[in-house]
Structure 1
Amino acid sequence: MVQLAFSTNAYTRFELPEAVRHIADHGYKGVELLADTPHAFLPEFDDGDQKKLKAVLDETGLAVSNINANTARGYYDDAPASSFFDPTIITADDENRAWRIEYTKSAIDLAVEVDAPSVCIATGRPLPGNPPEQAKKYLLDSLHEILNYAETREVTVGIEFEPELLVECTDEVLMLIEEIGHDSLGVNLDIGHAAVYGENPVESIHKCAGYITGVHLEDIVGGHRGKHYHRIPGEGDLDFKAIFAALNDINYTGFATLELYTYPDAPDKAAEKAYEELKPNVS
């Protein structure tokens, strides 16, 4: 049976231990950890921070569903609001790309420390001066290094596709998994991203059977080809009953994590409403 988790990226106005406590208060069984500022920006997340995190996980009994390493905005002192992903594992700058590879390895280390099964990462956008065919080469090289390391730590890595990124849909991520040839690579399947791209989320789930390292949930107004804005389930047009039925059909027994970073002003309201909306699908 699928269990519900909630990402700390909705609680960016709280310190990480307090965010974990709030999520536990709403009935979730798992928590996804944001591996970025202000929670666990890894170059600054020291042994003391890890001890506090482990203590609050023990206190609440929450399992860690995933380490969300999609962004690394803490790399910049003055990152613009739109700079979600950079520096990425496809960036043309060798030094920045190497930094992001090492950052992802650190996220894998954190996963081991908190017994998380997976780390998710996005490819990022092919920016000016870095056409897609060149970016693809950087992606393959970066992933081979990351996955070789992940396999020594027994952690899986999930690519999270998203419209406008180098890998932006179900078919592209599955082709990448086949091309890369590592069993440790899968897909962190964001249901809303599939819908925004124009895919049927239920069909995407069935296509990804056997490769899903984790699931992200949010609602989308407009459903297929809707606007990419994460909303509380029940406030958009996605059919979550069908989505959970599809996850059960493929025997997925991991976490489905609510990713509602769009509610920093009211994360408790978002967590509570999402749980009440989705609880019938997991009970």
Structure 2
Amino acid sequence: MTELAFSTNAYTRFELPDAVERIADHGYTGVEILADTPHAYLPDFDEDDQAALETALEETGLQVSNINANNTSAYYDDAPPSSFFDPTIITTDDEDREWRIEYTKSAIDLASAVDSPAVCIPSGRPLPGNPPEEAREYLYDSLYEIADYAESADVSVGIEFEPELLIECTDEALTVIDEVGSNALGVNLDLGHAAVSGEDPAESVRKCAGNITGIHLEDIVGGRGGKHYHRIPGEGDIDFEAIFAALDGIGYDGFATMELYTYPHAPDEAAAEAFEALEQYVD
């Protein structure tokens, strides 16, 4: 049976332990940890921070659904244009790319420490001077190293595809997983991303059976060509009943994590409304 989690990336105006406690108040059984500022930017996340997180988890009884290492915005003091997600595992600069690989390993360490089953990362966007064929070589080299580390830690790593990234749809993610050939590598399946890529989210679930490290949920207005803006369930066109039926159909028993970072001004309201909209599918 699928369980519901909520990501702390909606609670960026709160300290991490406060975010965990607030999420627990809304009925969720899981919490996704943002591995970036202001919650767990790993170079600055020390033993005291980890202890505070572990205390909040113990007191609330929440399980960690995923360590979200998609963004590392704190890396730059003055971020360059088009740097969203950067530095990535396909970045052309060797030192920056190695930094992101090591950052992902640190996220895996945190996942192991707080009993999270998985970490998610994006492929990154091929920026000017980094054509897709070259970026793909960087991708595979990075993933071989990351997957080896994840296997030794017994943590899964989910590639999260997204339109305009190097890996931007279900089939591309599955191709990468197949070619890397590691049991530790899967897909963190964001079903809103599937929708704006023109896919049927429920069919994407069925395609990914056996390879899902985690699920991200949000509502989206429109399909292909729709706006990639995360909305509370019921405010868009996603068929959540079909999604949960597909998850049940493949025997998925992990977390489906609401990712509503678009509501930093009202995260409690977003969390409450999302849970109310989706609890019928997990009762």
Interval containing the TM-score (normalised by the shorter chain): over 0.9
Matches within 5 A, 1:238-257: 238-257=238-257
Cross-structure match for 2:133: 133
**Which amino acid counterpart does residue 218 of structure 2 have in structure 1?**
E
- Alignment check: 8 A CA contact 2:161 2:169 kept: yes
Cross-structure match for 1:87: 87
Q: Which SS does the other structure have where 1:189 is aligned?
A: strand
Cross-structure match for 2:16: 16
**Per-residue CA distance 1:31-52 (angstroms, 9 max, x = gap):** 0000000000000000010000
Cross-structure match for 1:52: 52
> Mind listing any 5+ residue stretches in structure 2 that lack a counterpart?
none
Query: Which whole-Å CA distance do the structure 2 matches of 1:157 and 1:133 have between them?
Result: 23
> Residue 39 and residue 213 in structure 1: after superposition, are their counterparts in 2 closer, same or farther (change >3 A)?
same
Query: Which whole-Å CA distance do the structure 2 matches of 1:69 and 1:201 have between them?
Result: 23
- TM-score, normalised by the number of residues in structure 1: 0.98
Cross-structure match for 2:189: 189
Cross-structure match for 1:43: 43
Matches within 5 A, 1:193-232: 193-232=193-232
Q: Which SS does the other structure have where 1:104 is aligned?
A: helix
Cross-structure match for 2:160: 160
Query: Which whole-Å CA distance do the structure 2 matches of 1:79 and 1:16 have between them?
Result: 24
- Alignment check: 8 A CA contact 1:200 1:224 kept: no
Instruction: Report the CA distance between 1:27 and its aligned residue.
Output: 0.5
Query: Which whole-Å CA distance do the structure 2 matches of 1:208 and 1:110 have between them?
Result: 26
Matches within 5 A, 1:41-120: 41-79=41-79, 83-120=83-120
Q: Which SS does the other structure have where 1:5 is aligned?
A: strand
Query: Which whole-Å CA distance do the structure 1 matches of 2:81 and 2:33 have between them?
Result: 21
Query: Which whole-Å CA distance do the structure 1 matches of 2:142 and 2:82 have between them?
Result: 24
- Alignment check: 8 A CA contact 1:205 1:246 kept: yes
- Alignment check: 8 A CA contact 1:64 1:114 kept: yes
Instruction: Report the CA distance between 1:25 and its aligned residue.
Output: 0.4
Q: Which SS does the other structure have where 1:166 is aligned?
A: coil
Query: Which whole-Å CA distance do the structure 1 matches of 2:215 and 2:224 have between them?
Result: 18
- Alignment check: 8 A CA contact 2:72 2:85 kept: yes
- TM-score, normalised by the number of residues in structure 2: 0.98
- Alignment check: 8 A CA contact 1:30 1:63 kept: yes
**Per-residue CA distance 1:163-216 (angstroms, 9 max, x = gap):** 000000000000001111111100000000000000000110100000000000
Cross-structure match for 1:267: 267
| 2:36 equivalent to 1:27 | no
Query: Which whole-Å CA distance do the structure 1 matches of 2:16 and 2:119 have between them?
Result: 18
Q: Which SS does the other structure have where 2:5 is aligned?
A: strand
Instruction: Report the CA distance between 1:82 and its aligned residue.
Output: 5.9
Q: Which SS does the other structure have where 1:90 is aligned?
A: coil
The root-mean-square deviation of aligned C-alpha atoms, in Å, is 1.0
> Mind listing any 5+ residue stretches in structure 1 that lack a counterpart?
none
- Alignment check: 8 A CA contact 1:232 1:274 kept: yes
Query: Which whole-Å CA distance do the structure 2 matches of 1:47 and 1:172 have between them?
Result: 38
Q: May I ask how many residue pairs the two structures share in their alignment?
A: 283
Which deviates more from structure 2 when the two are superposed, residues 34-43 or residues 224-233? 224-233
Cross-structure match for 1:277: 277
Query: Which whole-Å CA distance do the structure 1 matches of 2:88 and 2:59 have between them?
Result: 35
Query: Which whole-Å CA distance do the structure 2 matches of 1:88 and 1:191 have between them?
Result: 22
Query: Which whole-Å CA distance do the structure 1 matches of 2:254 and 2:224 have between them?
Result: 25
Instruction: Report the CA distance between 1:81 and its aligned residue.
Output: 8.9
Once superposed, which parts of structure 1, at least 4 consecutive aligned residues long, lie more than 3 Å away? Answer: 80-83
Query: Which whole-Å CA distance do the structure 1 matches of 2:80 and 2:57 have between them?
Result: 32
**Which amino acid counterpart does residue 137 of structure 1 have in structure 2?**
E
- Alignment check: 8 A CA contact 2:197 2:223 kept: no
Which deviates more from structure 2 when the two are superposed, residues 124-133 or residues 220-229? 220-229
Instruction: Report the CA distance between 1:56 and its aligned residue.
Output: 0.4
> Residue 199 and residue 70 in structure 1: after superposition, are their counterparts in 2 closer, same or farther (change >3 A)?
same
